[in-house]
């Protein structure tokens, strides 16, 4: 099983490809220093394998490392639950107060 995750800026999403086929994606849009994450999808044939979690983690890891991103607004329930469950992502919810 070959998994590849990449950022697709043209479509505003992170994509996870499994054996060369699109299997899951997490939409995002930049609004200044804020990133809104409205939607996460795993195609029916690929559900139940933890792929959505992998693609959301990849996106959140990128946003944590990006100094231009101050905050993430998770309007997708899955992204919100992922941030809540993983303490390392919680700083993305509020801008740095320093």
Domains and CATH numbers, the chain: 3-89 (3.40.630.30)
Q: Strands, E, within the chain: which ranges?
A: 3-8, 13-18, 21-31, 34-42, 71-73
User: Tens digit of pLDDT for each residue in 83-96?
Assistant: 999 999 999 997 65
| Helix residue spans in 1-98 (DSSP H) | 51-65, 77-85
Distances (CA, A) of 41 to 66, 67, 69: 24, 27, 23
The per-residue pLDDT of the chain, averaged, comes to 95
Confidence of residue 98 (pLDDT cuts 50, 70, 90): very low
pTM metric for this prediction: 0.93
């Amino acid at each position: 099983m070959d998994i590849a995750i990449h950022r697709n800026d043209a479509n505003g999403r992170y994509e996870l490809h499994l054996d060369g086929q699109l299997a899951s994606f997490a939409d995002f849009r930049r609004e200044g220093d804020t990133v809104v994450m409205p939607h996460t999808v795993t195609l029916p044939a690929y559900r139940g394998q933890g792929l959505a979690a992998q693609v959301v983690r990849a996106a959140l890891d990128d946003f944590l490392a990006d100094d231009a991103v101050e905050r993430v607004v998770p309007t997708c329930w899955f992204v919100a639950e992922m941030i809540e469950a993983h303490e390392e992502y919680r700083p993305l919810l509020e801008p740095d107060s320093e």
